[in-house]
Amino acid sequence: MVFMPFLLKTNYRTLKTKKMSSIIQLLPDHVANQIAAGEVVQRPASVVKELLENAVDAKATDIKLVLKDAGKSLVQVIDNGIGMNVTDARLCFERHATSKIRQAEDLFSLHTKGFRGEALASIAAIAHVEMKTRQEQEELGNHIVIEGSKFVSQEPAVLPKGTSFSVKNLFYNIPARRNFLKSDTVELRHVIDEFQRVALAHPNIYFTMYHNGSEAFNLPNSNVRQRIVNIFSGKTNEKLVPIQEETDILSIQGFVGKPEFAKKNKGEQFFFVNDRYIKSGYLHHAVMSAYEGLLPAGSQPSYFIYLQVPPHTIDINIHPTKTEIKFDDEQALYAILRATIKHSLGQFNVAPVLDFDRDPNLDTPYAFQNKAAEYPTIQVDRSYNPFSDEKKERSGSTKNHYPKTESASSWESLYVGLKQEAFDIAPFEVENEEVTASLFEDEPTEQSVTKTYQIQKKYIVSPIKSGMVIIDQNRAHERILYEQFLKNMTVQHASSQQLLFPLHLFFTRNEIHLLAELQAVLHSIGFIFEGFESDAVHISGIPAHTSESEIPPLLEQLMRDLSEGIPENSFSLNDSIAKSMAKSLAVKNGVYLSEKDQENIVNNLFACKEPNTTPFQKNTFITMRVEDIDKKFAL
């Protein structure tokens, strides 16, 4: 009996140990599918990408994409591919069920888009999915309905050849994920990006896209150049320079943009490897290196580059979205791509080519193409004697061709006055740098106390009672313009300057749609739009104190800043637009400012409500007290 408590305590510890060892448990399938959906499906655009790629793998020649509420309510993809039988239609919704690979080695010899087999299972776990499919040789197809990984029904039905996937109410069972979705405009832009990538990779397929009942894209099957033009507007055709190269390592085809059409954003930049869209900072650097010396600072060229490489030389399975690839020999690809683009830019006279062996004297004008050669005539004045003392008159035939010669005896007269005339040089002035103002004055006056100075064309120094203020001219002007734009948009309309000739600016369809939505807000700033077309906008009025040359980069910067997220309420939208325009129009560092401009910046800055920081929460100025300066000299 003495040992009973010890035995009971030992048994309790044993039971406690056994209970703690079973903390790790296998997740149910529906929970595992929802976790996998977090990697595969981030937004409606992810669903669009997976379904479009499945339709391409099904060898479809006609693919339709139908959306409602930017894909939040409905994403439907209809294709005329090979379809699926009864077994495959049910099995495709199981995790890691795929027809693309049979063993691990197949991952390095892929010729299709999807291959992991987790896409449909993940989509079915977070939405209501309806699939209709029929093979060509079958009389009846299959109609399957799934809600949150649960099979609701499966029955035969009379269907057309191909497959139709309908994904409704995305994230209906995960409200937290649905709350993270952006506005319809932002989500639609992401869907359009995915649609364009698949459409550019397969120009031989007919693609159409509908959003809320209206047609957004109609892309008939064509070649690569025509597909690019159909997507990005007709003005794109004159911007493209073709590139082509065949090597043992890879094959390069596609188009690059001319330097004069470069933009500030990276919107029209596409790499395709074996007809798969990828992102590669390494290859992008190769393209930028080929444009070295041709682009303004901060500009980005457009390019549509298609690479064909042996499948065993790349690894696709390194990222859940399959947009990143590892190459076997990246350095060789870099060098070949850079040389190919550089050669094309020079071949089409886009880049200057220096040929030191060319003799410009041998260039023949086109006007001389059919002109006969003229033989030169030689005439000799036999009566000419340089040592004769008398002036001789030329014969009638020769004096028409030769001027009179001076007597040889007067040759000394050629040097008369040479000493004086040769060195009689008129006084000349040496060009000096104009000094507009003196940094220090001999006697201090009241005006000199309040004077401002510009340092390195970047900072404005203004004295104050306790020391001095050093102002960043770019940041200060950003704060001034930001508050002015906000005031114009919320309190009163800004003044607009009418243009004698309206501006005609070309943009993509997505950008035109965005500008049309922002028309009312931009009108309050000073913009006046005459009309919108499918690929162009006409502007007859611009904000006061703004030049015409500033408008195209201003609108590009505005759309780029708003592309990541357009706020739902109008105040946040006004704030975003005011920040973007202030950033674009603010005076840049490196620009010389007159004393009057410097004083205006100083006075307007300290008249702002929040002069201490920029709209992006950066300091606009710093102060240095006399005590701080004294400490520097005390060291």
The contacts of residue 378 (CB under 8 Å, 6+ apart) are: none
The CATH 3.30.565.10 portion of the chain extends over 29-218
Q: What is the pLDDT of residue 513?
A: 79
Residue 440: pLDDT band by 50, 70, 90 thresholds?
very low
Of the two residues 308 and 379, the one the predictor is more confident about is: 308
CA distances from 515 to 89, 260, 326, 627 (A): 43, 23, 39, 53
The 3-state DSSP class for residue 624 equals strand
What percentage of residues in the chain have a pLDDT greater than 70?
74
Average pLDDT, the chain: 78
Q: What integer pLDDT is reported at residue 336 of this predicted model?
A: 92
**Residues 418-425, mean pLDDT to the nearest whole number:** 51
In this predicted structure, which of 282-291, 506-515, 600-609 has the lowest mean pLDDT? 506-515
Q: What is the pLDDT of residue 35?
A: 65
Average pLDDT over residues 440-455: 59
Q: For residues 500 and 125, what is the distance between their CA atoms, to the nearest angstrom?
A: 59
Q: How many CB atoms lie within 10 A of CB 376?
A: 4
- Tell me the CA distances in angstroms from 186 to 41, 51, 231, 590, one per residue in order: 16, 20, 19, 36
pLDDT on residue 569: 55
pTM given for the model: 0.68
The pLDDT tens digits for 611-622 are 999 988 899 999
- pLDDT band for position 369 (cuts 50, 70, 90): low
pLDDT at position 115, please?
47
User: For residue 113, which of 44, 198, 172, 173 has the smallest C-alpha distance?
Assistant: 198
**3-state SS string over 504-527?**
EEECCHHHHHHHHHCHHHHHHHCC
Where do you find CATH 3.30.230.10 in the chain? 224-347
For 162-191, the pLDDT digits (tens) are 999 999 999 888 888 888 888 888 888 889
- Tell me the fold of 453-623: Ribosomal Protein S8; Chain: A, domain 1 (3.30.1370)
Position 110 scores a pLDDT of 53
pLDDT at 116 over 80: no
Domain covering 224-347, topology: Ribosomal Protein S5; domain 2 (3.30.230)
For the chain, residues classed under CATH 3.30.1370.100 are 453-623
329 pLDDT more than 70: yes
Please give the share of the chain, as a percent, with pLDDT higher than 90. Answer: 23
> pLDDT digits over 293-328, tens only?
888 777 889 999 999 988 887 776 555 556 777 777
Which position has the higher pLDDT, 209 or 5?
A: 209
The whole-number pLDDT of residue 362 equals 58
What's the confidence (pLDDT) of residue 79?
94
Residue 72 CB coordination number (10 Å): 19
* Class of 29-218 in CATH: alpha beta
Rg, the chain, Cα only: 38
In a 10 Å sphere around its CB, with 0-12 CB exposed, 13-18 middle and 19+ buried, how is residue 71 labelled? Answer: buried
* Encoded amino acid at 68, one letter: K
Task: Tell me the per-residue pLDDT of 551-573, one tens digit each, with 9 for 90 and over.
Answer: 888 888 787 777 665 555 556 77
The span from the CA of 243 to the CA of 306, in Å, is: 10
What pLDDT, on a 0 to 100 scale, did the predictor assign at position 349?
67
Residue type, 484: Q
